Homo-oligomer: A and B are copies of this chain.
Amino acid sequence: MEKQTMRFAILGLGTVGKGVVKLLQESREMLHLKTGLNLELAKVLVRDASKPRPGFEGLPLTEDVSEILDDPSIRIVVELMGGIEPARTYLVEALRRGKTIVTANKDVMADYDKDLYDAGEIGDAEIYFEASVGGGIPIIRPLKEALAANTMRQVMGIVNGTTNYILTQMSQYGRSYEEALQEAQALGYAEPDPTNDVQGFDAARKLAILCTICFLSRVKPGMVYTEGITRVTPRDIEYGRRFGWVLKLLAIGKEVDGEIEARVHPAFIPHTHPLASVAGSFNAIYTVGDPVGETMFYGRGAGAGPTASAVVSDLIAAALSKRTPGRRAGDAHTVYFEKRVLPIEETRSRYYLRLHAVDAPGSLARIAERFGEHGVSLAEVVQASGGPDHPDDGGAAELVLVTHTVQDANLQAVVRDLKEMRDTVLRVDNVIRVEG
């Protein structure tokens, strides 16, 4: 059978780009079967075409993006450069010229999705971005298509493998944050400058993408409350374990009464929660929708192979759609509303507080009083004197308090008050939300 040819280009030939090229080469026959098309890699944009790339010789490299953008025979552009610019500009130009785009770029998708959809309207071109969240885990298209009939109530994800690896090491081996980070860096799971991951910025961008799809209203990374894992200690994790909890960096989106909560922070969840057993560098996205109830999507959230899986699967769908034009459910821009995103003070959660107080009669009563004054009721209190595991605390008692569900503003007011009780409270060691 004579096969129609569909020409496409790739922007960027780093780790992910090479993974995609490799998968395309290995699965040529399967792609023929599944698409009925001859998918032809027409151009690959690189910064330096003369650089040796062992194992990737003979590719149609170019350093000039106009050879791609100005070539009408190129119908699909696969963008794997990462970062905002020049990727954003290239994507917008490709879409305006009617080229469908497939992208793994969470930065552009989180902050500039509107630019892309607007450009796509002009060029009548489509946007595929499965690889931008959760690596190889199918999540974007399932949310847009297989769960399309649901009103989504909640999305809760472990969407950053670096921090999940660090927290898993801390939990399983009692490592300090610094030790676990160094280990992650040595293994290549964490960047030399880990800020983007450990401060939760990467997770916040992915959450913005997920919230926008789930709640049909645009959520930008700047609207997401973001708190990293750098202040987590093995001691907090150990206390959590006593309560039956596991500590994770969670990306949480909720819709409550037409308003959206969007926050990334460390959180305790029950050890029986489906997300609790997601260990190491794995990712998972847990959702609650009506009427589907709870669902969870689990897999490898990063790496050349999983990312290539998502990119090439998107390419298959893009090629099939290009062959038979007509917009599909998964391609539509589903922002229909402008829902308010709550400032963190208005969100509600349970809280775990660990603090050191003067080990004297009446300390606990005075502390508990502060909670009551701000309408924060306590669910559990654990008092441990300094003891052998904290010998340097002298006359201090360590207290762990767990609240019922309260508004964040009230909890913060309690914490401010506690910090001013210098005759009673020596320090507030940590405040961690409890979810699930």
Chain A 120-150: CB-based contact to B (< 8 A → 1; otherwise 0): 0000000000100000111011100111111
**Residue on B with the closest CB to A299?**
B295
A151 vs B305: C-alpha distance when bound (angstroms): 12
A309 touches B150 (CB 8 A): yes
Q: Does A23 contact B (CB under 8 A)?
A: yes
Identify the closest chain B residue to A276 (Cβ): B277
- For A279, give the chain B residue with the smallest CB separation: B272
Contact A299 B292 (CB under 8 A): yes
Q: Contact at A145–B141, with CB atoms within 8 Å?
A: yes
Given contacts A34-B334, A146-B142, A148-B313, contact A306 B293 (CB under 8 A): yes
B137 touching A295 by the CB < 8 A rule? yes
Q: Which residue of B lies closest to A317 (CB)?
A: B329
B147 lies within 8 A of A309 (CB): yes
> Which one of B151, B296, B317, B329 contacts A298 once the chains associate, using CB atoms below 8 Å?
B296
Does A180 sit at the interface, judged by CB under 8 A? no
Q: Is the CB of B136 within 8 A of A293?
A: yes
- The reply to whether the CB of A328 lies closer than 8 angstroms to some CB of chain B is yes
Does A50 count as interface, using CB distance less than 8 angstroms? no
Interface residue tally of chain A, by bracket? 35 or more
Q: In the complex, which residues 260-290 of chain A have their Cβ closer than 8 Å to any Cβ of chain B?
A: 272, 274, 276-277, 279, 282, 284, 289-290
Most central of A138, A149, A300, A315 by chain B CB within 10 Å? A149
A332 within 8 A of B: yes
Chain B CB within 10 Å — which of A19, A137, A272 has the most? A137
The CA of A313 and the CA of B295, in the complex, are separated in Å by 15
A54 within 8 A of B: no
CA distance A321 to B328 in the complex (A): 7
- Are B309 and A138 in touch, CB under 8 angstroms? no
Q: A145-B141, A320-B327 are in contact. Are A299 and B309 (CB under 8 A)?
A: no
Instruction: Give 30 CB contacts A-B under 8 Å.
Output: A19-B291, A23-B149, A30-B149, A30-B151, A34-B148, A35-B329, A136-B147, A136-B292, A137-B295, A138-B138, A138-B145, A138-B295, A147-B309, A148-B312, A149-B308, A149-B309, A149-B311, A149-B312, A290-B305, A291-B306, A292-B300, A292-B309, A293-B306, A295-B297, A297-B298, A316-B329, A317-B329, A323-B326, A324-B326, A328-B328
A274 to B317, CA, bound (A): 29
Q: How far is A294 from B19 in the complex, measured between Cα atoms in Å?
A: 17
* Residue numbers in B under 8 Å from A23 (CB-CB): 149, 291
> What is the CA–CA distance of A309 and B31 in the complex, to the nearest angstrom?
31
* Pair B216/A33 contact, Cβ less than 8 Å: yes
How far does the alpha carbon of A62 sit from the alpha carbon of B44 in the complex, in Å?
A: 59
A284 → B minimal CB distance (Å): 8
Q: Which of B27, B289, B325 contacts A324 (CB 8 A)?
A: B325
List the B side residues contacting A290 at CB < 8 Å. 305
Task: List the B residue with the shortest CB-CB distance to A298.
Answer: B296
Residues of B with C-beta under 8 A to A327:
320, 324
Chain B CB within 8 A of A173 CB: no
Bound CA span A282–B294, Å: 9
